[in-house]
Amino acid sequence: MAPQEMTPERDPPGDDYTLERSAVAAILGAVDQGSRDQLSALMQPLHAADIADLLEQINSADRVRLIRLYGAEFDGEILSELGESVREDVIDELEPHVLAGAVRELESDDVVDLVENLGEPQQEAILEVLEDADRVAVERALAWPENSAGRLMQRKVVMAPEHWNVGQIIDFMRESETLPEQFYHVVLVDPRLHPTGNVTLGKIMSSRREVMLADIVEEVFQTIPVTQDEEDVAYAFNQYHLISAPVVDEEGRLIGMITIDDAMVVLDEEHEEDILRLGGVAEESALSDTVAETVRRRLPWLVANLATAILASLVIALFEDVITRFVALAILMPIIASMGGNAGTQSLTVAVRAMATKDLTTSNVWRVIRREAWVGLVNGLVFAVVMGGVGVVWFGSPLLGLVIAAAMVVNMLVAGLAGTIVPVVMQKSGVDPALASGTFVTTVTDIVGFFAFLGLAGLVLL
């Protein structure tokens, strides 16, 4: 079969950018046949991210066979694109010389990202295959706090004295053999290596040789402290539209550079983490996890939800006599709980997202709380009219319609308040608001909703 006939078909750009099922089947077919040439022809057109997706989607047995057959052609970029849960398994299966070749292709920041979450034996296996200079750079980066700018930065930086002109930096870059593989700025530094400005490569290439670099620096210049949390680094890139930014030590000296691709990876990971936590799922969860791993990560949150559900049940138990006399209450209770929970989740999602983007601060928190209270009140009044009519038409009881209408107003108002106040309190207490707020908001809306509905029923209907 000619190589062009084996090229994996892909969905057209703008669709979902996933491999066609036929392409995956062709690759696994080549693995089954043990044909290394055919496998190489099928894999060669694929981007490293696509190969990583493939390795994550197939089962562990097929993954092992594919890795062993693919052999020395395994690219280091594939390791960088793999999720943590699969990455360790892949590294274990790679031959030492294949791992060495793959890792040596990576920049130091990519190697740091690769090894920082691995076990000690796997870290040592990777560090041993690096050249001395690269190993020292990675070990220094690993010495910085986890999730800090020091872990995120690359140590290769193109810098120039403030008094250089365009011609001098062009000559320097042409003669240098150690330029980073990817960079966007030349950093100007003073005699003490303090960064003073950024000059884009576009400005350098479009300016005459005699133009001074200091005259064409970027208007926006931001330095990143080496110990700054990577989440704040990503925020700075997004907020100030940075392409790259120099990293400085405690004395303000240039020690590295962070580029937009690394910052955006962090931003994407933070968004994904918040979504998973809002759902009560560990941020390390992946589709490739085993049943045991998935159960272990989800069980604690299900236990917490069970505890809060029991609290809501205790409130219902207080009104057992009322429910016994008016069975219609049992039919309508899920509506109260569902509407309150959904309204609370809406407010909670907006609040947590606003916190992550630093839009919700102490200066506007009370205005936001008042807004959510008004939104809850208005929504409550709208649905009070609807449910009041349901109570009258369905059960023929105007009083029951009045009770559920009043309970709906109370619960929707409380849901709007809880959805904003709970995450704010969590954050002030040093707890990740995305991690535990959902459970507390649901508990508040359930308890308040049941208490308001059944309490009013006991006062009005008995």
pLDDT value of residue 242: 92
Taking each helix axis from N to C end, the angle separating 120-129 and 96-104, rounded to the nearest 10 degrees, works out to 70
Cβ neighbors of 440 (< 8 A, separation 6 or more) are 308, 418, 422, 426
pLDDT value of residue 126: 81
Measured CA to CA, the distance from residue 266 to residue 268 in angstroms comes to 5
Q: Which stretch of 127-141, 164-178, 332-346 has the lowest confidence by average pLDDT?
A: 127-141
CB atoms within 10 A of CB 35: 16
Residue 270 token pair: 């933070």
- Going by the DSSP 8-state scheme, the letter that residue 12 receives in this structure is P
pLDDT value of residue 436: 65
Cβ contact 273:283 at 8 Å: yes
Cβ contact 86:55 at 8 Å: yes
pLDDT value of residue 303: 81
For the residues 92-115, what does the mean pLDDT come to? 80
Q: Encode pLDDT of 150-184 as tens digits.
A: 998 988 899 999 999 999 999 999 999 888 888 99
Q: Which stretch of 106-120, 180-194, 270-284 has the lowest confidence by average pLDDT?
A: 270-284
Instruction: Please check the confidence at residue 388 and state whether its pLDDT lies above 70.
Output: yes
Q: Encode pLDDT of 7-20 as tens digits.
A: 444 443 335 667 77
pLDDT bracket for residue 1 (50, 70, 90): very low
Cβ contact 343:419 at 8 Å: yes
pLDDT value of residue 233: 92
Whole-number percent of the chain with pLDDT over 70: 90
pLDDT bracket for residue 74 (50, 70, 90): confident
Q: Encode pLDDT of 418-429 as tens digits.
A: 999 988 888 888
pLDDT bracket for residue 117 (50, 70, 90): confident
pLDDT bracket for residue 250 (50, 70, 90): very high
Which residue would you say has higher pLDDT here, 330 or 297?
330
pLDDT value of residue 228: 95
Go through 387-397 and write b for each residue having 16 or more CB atoms within 10 A of its CB, e for each that does not. bbebbbeebee
Taking each helix axis from N to C end, the angle separating 48-57 and 21-33, rounded to the nearest 10 degrees, works out to 80
Phi, psi (deg, nearest 5) at residue 238: -70, -40
Instruction: Please check the confidence at residue 302 and state whether its pLDDT lies above 50.
Output: yes
pLDDT value of residue 286: 56
Q: How many CA atoms lie within 13 A of 224 on its CB side?
A: 33
* Burial of 246 from C-beta contacts in 10 A (0-12 / 13-18 / 19+): buried
Q: Encode pLDDT of 367-386 as tens digits.
A: 999 999 999 999 999 999 99
The domains located in the chain, with CATH, are 3-143 (1.25.60.10), 159-266 (3.10.580.10), 291-461 (1.10.357.20)
For the residues 248-277, what does the mean pLDDT come to? 84
pLDDT value of residue 17: 66
pLDDT bracket for residue 289 (50, 70, 90): low
pLDDT value of residue 182: 83
Reported pTM? 0.65
Handedness of CA 104, 106, 107, 112 (dihedral sign): negative
For the residues 131-157, what does the mean pLDDT come to? 86
pLDDT value of residue 158: 95
Q: Which amino acid is at 117?
A: N
Cβ contact 81:49 at 8 Å: yes
Which residue would you say has higher pLDDT here, 293 or 38?
38
Instruction: Please check the confidence at residue 5 and state whether its pLDDT lies above 70.
Output: no
Measured CA to CA, the distance from residue 203 to residue 185 in angstroms comes to 10
pLDDT value of residue 4: 42
Can you list the positions of beta strands (E) in 125-243? 159-161, 185-189, 195-200, 224-225
